Amino acid sequence: MKPSLLWNRICLLFTAGVLVSVLIFLGCRDEGVTHELLTIQGKTMGTSFVVKVVQSAGKQNVTITETLETEINSLLREVNRQMSTYQKDSEISQFNQYGKTDWFPVSPAFATVLESAVQIADISDGAFDFTVGNLVNLWGFGPDARPEKIPTDAQIAERKAVVGYEQVSVRHEAPVAVRKVRPAIHCDLSAIAKGFGVDKVAEYLESLGLVNYLVEIGGEVRALGQNQLGSAWRIGVETPDSPNGIHKVVALSGYALATSGDYFNYFEKDGQRYSHTIDPRTGRPITHKLASVTVLHSSCMMADGLATAINVLGPDKGLEFARGKGLAVFMLIRSNGGFSEKMTPEFATLFSHEKKKS
């Protein structure tokens, strides 16, 4: 999805509402509260991450905390090493710089993420396209960011010539490798890599038998079980253009949630707003009125990529796509100075169900 800052796309409710929760938790400790909350946080993939784990009281100790922190940071460094376009020696950076069209050896994880990106690109008819990196850079939103300058039609046409997910192949048989039809093709997995990182951390926690956790990287979230108060994890979908405004609260357990929007990374030139989300089919930033789209999915990686695809498609075609694929999707659309809502039946059902449970 899109460069972002922590709390800018989906706010964990650690504002006033969470302050109340913390006070309740502290006030009840002496009355039989038997769970403790471990929080690990740091920096990764150009943004921030937070991991929250709930365990029985007394089971946490310094060694367990340090082990979790070390392993989680190690997992995220490895994802960064594989898929960061900002890291010059990462696998994806080396692949982008590779001047040949034969097979390029990569890690199984990189191949898995790239194959998932191909799948999302295919089912969205190219609305999601991980080869859009050259266009992202052209518009100043990538590692080669520069002062805002509108590209010419000729420059856009030149970059579009080396955009096309069909021109990249993945081979899972040993040795695992990828290849591109044209050396100039530039891949960018930023719209799916953070979700993959969330999944990797979640899978690690579950491998340890931890069943009450929340993992968040740059706004992409996956949660299981309950928080330290014994209720579902509560995630706030932010109101666009309002950094402290929460439009809707989702009780999340057993699902991942990702949001893509036009309001947290853009520039304005001569009164025109240019979103960081580039439509690979036109080579230009999206211009429709879909302000944000939130996707619930069992995989954070898939939720991440699908949110970007739907954001590119826009409110009408995006909703049609989501309904056709049976996706749980929630939209906020700019309308008369405010926002209107649209959601798929799957999202409405999940939201209603979780709301009753919480």
Whole-number percent of the chain with pLDDT over 90? 63
pLDDT the model gives residue 26: 29
pLDDT the model gives residue 142: 72
The alpha carbon of 135 is separated from its chain's Cα centroid by a whole number of angstroms, namely 20
Q: What is the dihedral of CA 111, 113, 119, 123, to 10 degrees?
A: -160
Model pTM greater than 0.75?
A: yes
User: Sign (positive/negative) of CA torsion 136, 142, 143, 144?
Assistant: positive
- Calculate mean pLDDT across residues 141-152: 73
Q: Set out the domains of the chain in order of their start, with CATH numbers.
A: 10-82+192-357 (3.10.520.10), 104-180 (1.10.3980.10)
Q: Is residue 38 a contact partner of residue 297, using CB atoms and an 8 Å limit?
A: no
Q: Is residue 130 a contact partner of residue 191, using CB atoms and an 8 Å limit?
A: yes
**Mind listing the pLDDT tens digit for each residue in 201-224?**
999 999 999 999 999 999 999 999
Of 148, 138, 174, the closest CA to residue 283 belongs to 138
Both tokens of 240, joined, read: 């666009």
Q: Is residue 95 a contact partner of residue 189, using CB atoms and an 8 Å limit?
A: no
Both tokens of 144, joined, read: 């080669």
Q: Is residue 308 a contact partner of residue 1, using CB atoms and an 8 Å limit?
A: yes
Lowest model confidence (mean pLDDT) among 90-99, 123-132, 274-283: 274-283
H/E stretch holding 318: helix 315-324
Task: Check whether 8 has a pLDDT greater than 50.
Answer: no
pLDDT the model gives residue 262: 65
**Mind listing the pLDDT tens digit for each residue in 38-68?**
999 999 998 999 999 998 765 555 667 889 9
CA distance 186 to 111: 16
Both tokens of 85, joined, read: 């376009």
